Structure 1
Amino acid sequence: MADVSIKGTLPRDQVETPFARFVADYCSSWLAVAALVVVVVLITLSALAPWIAPQNPYDLTQLSIFDNMLAPGERSMEGKLYLLGTDDQGRDMLSAMFYGLKLSFFVGIVSTAVALAIGIAAGITAAYFGGRIDTVIMRFVDLQLSFPAILIALILLALLGKGVDKVIIALVAVQWAYYARTIRGGALVERQREYIDAARNLALPSHRIIFRHLLPNCLPPLVVVATIQVAHAISLEATLSFLGVGVPITEPSLGLLISNGYKYILSGKYWISVYPGLLLLLTILAINLVGDRLRDLLNPRLKA
């Protein structure tokens, strides 16, 4: 029997919107769905951290030095239960991880968004106008990509100092070139299409051709790159904080929590570093799995 829609007039694949088909294709992989659920849950927990965390681990009035180094599941002298234990300053590890996750997502998403905007502007300008403009912009991109990202970030933070805003600036500086090169490659192909030639023959202004015709057709690959770069930004921020050049000690950070507990691992106080490390690993893994699934759907040739 022929597959018909609810209206009974058209096949289902003609009634469904492209977005609905995209969602159905994405949900066909249970691993991708599980990864997306994990990402949504982690973002929700981080956003609600001030309300669901048992304490504000960076409010000194809520800390007690007598509660330091409590093991997971141990109670304080007042009878308060610490599910994941406490660190050397008496901070509840569960609360500190919620707050650290919030900062990680904030730094990763904001830095990626700013770098994406800069990269799109640079890449689309280079591809559309070409000539010397393309040469100058791409030489900067090549110079940027020739150095390791961690090295550039370390140099910038050595000059700028510690701080969340400084970390975001450093991450933007090491990410924008990826987006510029990606969108330039797609824009060079789209620029040769007939619809671009038709728009030019109609004497449409350049900004209209770019924003209404060229840019929308170059965005799908950037969705994949941006998703994966969020995970990269989170891991890079954690690395910088672990090295002591990222966020200051007064700010919550998963990398900083791992660094604080690193010296206590050999003495048996594993939970101070291990639990934040596992949460960081889960976050990066889930985001990368979502990005891999988006890559397969937006460019099926890569899947083969």
Structure 2
Amino acid sequence: MIRLIISGANGYFGSIACQYFEDKGWQVLKACRQDNADIWCDLDSPEQFAKLTIDSHVDLFIHAAAAHEVTCREQPYRSIYQNVVGTKAALDFCVKNNIEHFIYLSTFHVFGHPKGEINESTEPLPVNDYGLSHLQAEQYVQMYTREGKIKGMVIRPSNFFGIPVDLDKFGRWTLVPLAFCREAIETHKIVLKTPGLQKRNFVSVNDICRVIENSYVLIEKIPLLHIYGVNTISIRGLAELVQNVMINNFNNKVELVIPNNIYSSYFPQRNEFTYTSKYLKEIYEPRGRIENFIVDFVDLFKGIKSVE
């Protein structure tokens, strides 16, 4: 049995990942600051976390605790501290407890405004605190690996999606696929703030977990891994996809509201890009499709709303 720790275990990614690995028969220890924590982990108190000791052997630590993009924008100083110093604390915790393998959940957004083909050799060029703080955290993982303190891997998934484990406690409604679904159900409209020409690549959380499951034993060979999904689609295309699912699968009409074309010149289409990897195909090629997720999530959310 593989024993692993997941930090941020009650977060959007972390809670789905805990469920995934438990279903695989792994023993999962939850590191978070909620009452169900197996290990107390508060990124506002990194020194306390770094000094903790545990009695049991652990094979792998997945560090998924971080301030997300909205928090980074609204509370930049605290968020940078959590993302960078919090990652160092997680690394020190692993060193103190002889946890050899460490995987850091970074983000595609270290590339800022993506252009052309982007793989593990592409230089990151972050444009905000969210991307930069993740890049700085990556460098801590790389430094600890160079110094032989841990065997670390940085993974950079694109924008991920997955059915929340507990929708009542879910708080990430700023994530576009979920926000569009919720808006379509509650208001029968999807209102875009821009013409929606910017593109995103989407990968399922379960696919990310499958990649981790298959790759963590390869950490020494692959210290940096990009994880892309099947779908690269514009924000407007995603809204239209939700609109089509609502009418075709649930017989509900949804109005799509797009800013008047007169303003489109202020929001030019972003450069075309392909998010790819030099290694991923040899490990596991993601299969989760965003349209299947939309159908499943709308079905779940509509059921909950009808009960209410």
Q: What TM-score range do you get, normalising by the shorter chain?
A: under 0.3
Higher helix share: 1
Structure with higher Rg: it is: 1
TM-score norm. by structure 1 comes to: 0.24
TM-score norm. by structure 2 comes to: 0.24
Higher RCO, 1 or 2 (CA under 8 Å, sep at least 6)? 1
Higher strand share: 2
